[in-house]
Amino acid sequence: MTTEINFFGVYVAPFVGDLAVAFLLFLPLRWLFARAGLFALFWHVALVELCLFVAVLGFTVYLV
């Protein structure tokens, strides 16, 4: 079982590390989607970005 991480006196859940890794993987994917023009296919770009981030987060949690 994982425990909290003491970060300068503040206890942080280990899930925050997964969120950070997922965000760093999400940024280039979002750039690629925008560059390829895939966002033009969807009517709600923010919702697609949220779904993409959740998918990347699920993948990183699965790997951990």
Phi, psi dihedral angles at 3 (to 5 degrees): -115, 175
Domain positions in the chain are: 14-63
Q: What pLDDT does 1 receive?
A: 53
Torsions phi, psi of 8, nearest 5? Answer: 55, 45
- 38-56, pLDDT tens digit by residue? 888 999 999 999 999 999 9
pLDDT of residue 34: 93
The pLDDT assigned to 5 comes to 82
For 24-42, how does the pLDDT look when each residue is reduced to its tens digit (9 = 90+)? Answer: 999 999 999 999 998 889 9
Global pTM?
0.83
Q: What CA–CA distance (Å, rounded) separates 47 from 27?
A: 15
Structure confidence at residue 56 (pLDDT):
97
